[in-house]
Every structure is written in C-alpha cells, then in structure tokens.
Amino acid sequence: MDAYELIRSAILEGDYNPGQRLTEEAVAATLGVSRTPIREAIRRLTAEGLVVLQGRRAAVREFPVEEVRQIYDLRALLEGYAASTAAMHRTDADIERLHEANRWFTQAVKSGGKSRDQIREIVDANHAFHHGVLLATHNSHLDFLISRVVVLPLVFRSFYWYDQSETEASLGYHVTITAAIEQRDPDRARCAMAEHIYKGRDHVLLHAPALHGNESDVDDEGGIDA
C-alpha cells in the first residue's frame, strides 16, 4: 500500500486516535517514507473528511455526539429510500448479489473473533451488502450521495464494539432487508433499513467518548502545511 492507503487504514482502525495531530516527520518515520508522499496523503484525507486542519497542523477528525446523530439521521433517510427503491427496481442478479453478501457476512460472523483481520472481514462483508442495495436501485445519484455520509471510522469501530449477539443481529437485519427487496415490498425494505441504521447509531453513541481524543501529537515538532 502507498502512504495514503496506510494512513487511511491507520485512521479507520484506530491506530491514530480522534483528535491526534499528524506531523509529517512522525508519520514519515513510522512508514519509512519521505515527507512528500505524506503531505499529499494528508491533503487527500482532508478532502475525504478523515483529517481536519488546525491552523497549519493536521489532526484526525473527531466526532461530536450531535454530528454522529446528524450522520446517522441522513444515512437512515437515504439508505431507507435506497432500500425501497431497490425493492421496486431490483433484478434477479441484484438479489443474488445480496444473498452472496449475506453468505459472506454469515461466514465472517461465525468466526466469532475480534482480531483486526476478522473485523476487517466483517466490515468488508457489510460494505458488500450495503453497496449491493445501492446497485439494486439502478440510481447512481444515490450511490454518490450516500458515499458522502457513510463515515468509515464509525462503521469500523461500531463492529469492533459489537459483541457476538449484536453482530448476529446486524446480519438478521440484512436478511430481512434482502427478503423485502426480493419480495418487492418497498415499505418493509425502507423501514427495516432505517431501523438497522438507527440501531447502529445507538450503539455508536454508547461509545461516544471513544470518538474524542486528547489532541496529543504524533510528534512534538513540525506541522503539515495545507
């Protein structure tokens, strides 16, 4: 992976904490690369919203409680609409894609572990399902809009915080949503998806203090000019 992908993964998976400052020197030393690719990576991550600028310094984005609520409210609205639209426009190929995502998720859940690799597998299977719902809408505008409100660090950490029963409950929602889409039941699909998203929101809010850092530096010197 290049510097951008490495830093992005470290943010998503909690190696860099919310509020933690990122300096070129420290990150470059950690990755064993020069400062130039670090500077470019930070700019890309700032554009993505994973990093914020504090004057000339960059820091990992924090998530205040109200912002978490806003993010999940938008997700519930948009993804609920996507599920209902998918129920009206899905093809047989779309349904098979959702079933395949659910089989993948089932295998990931059965592992029952909490290692980083196992969490990655669950997150990837979860993404495959939600992306499958979007594909079934046959509406590229929805994909664009939803991609702007799905905050990946929240998704990754929510699965890290889930216990086995909660992860299995998430799979249960996927199965219910898939059935509603397959049966061309837009109201049920929308309601099930919205409830699924709100359950995720409530779980993240239980761990809200973990979304705030102490604004410590990765290093004491240097900064990243924007």
Counting residues of the chain whose pLDDT is more than 90, the rounded percentage is: 51
Choice between 102 and 203, residue whose per-residue pLDDT is larger: 102
- β-strands 51-54, 21-22 pairing: unpaired
Joined tokens for residue 213: 């850092």
pLDDT for residue 156: 74
The confidence band for 213, taking pLDDT boundaries of 50, 70 and 90, is low
Joined tokens for residue 59: 């820091």
Q: For the segment 4-13, what is each residue's pLDDT rounded down to a tens digit?
A: 989 988 888 8
* Structural domains in the chain, sorted by start: 3-63 (1.10.10.10), 65-209 (1.20.120.530)
Enter the DSSP assignment of 62: P
pLDDT for residue 209: 66
The pTM of this model reads 0.82
Q: For the segment 20-70, what is each residue's pLDDT rounded down to a tens digit?
A: 899 888 898 888 888 889 999 999 999 888 899 888 889 998 888 888 899
Instruction: Please count the other Cβ atoms lying within 10 Å of the Cβ belonging to residue 47.
Output: 9
Q: Which of 174, 179, 192 is nearest to 104 (CA)?
A: 174
Q: What is the CA radius of gyration of the chain?
A: 19
Using a 10 angstrom Cβ sphere, with 0-12 exposed, 13-18 middle and 19 or more buried, the burial of residue 161 is middle
Q: Could you tell me if 82 and 180 are in contact, meaning their C-beta atoms sit under 8 angstroms apart?
A: no
Could you tell me which residues are beta bridge partners of residue 72?
none
Cβ-proximal residues to 14 (8 Å cutoff; 6+ apart), any chain: 153, 156, 157, 160
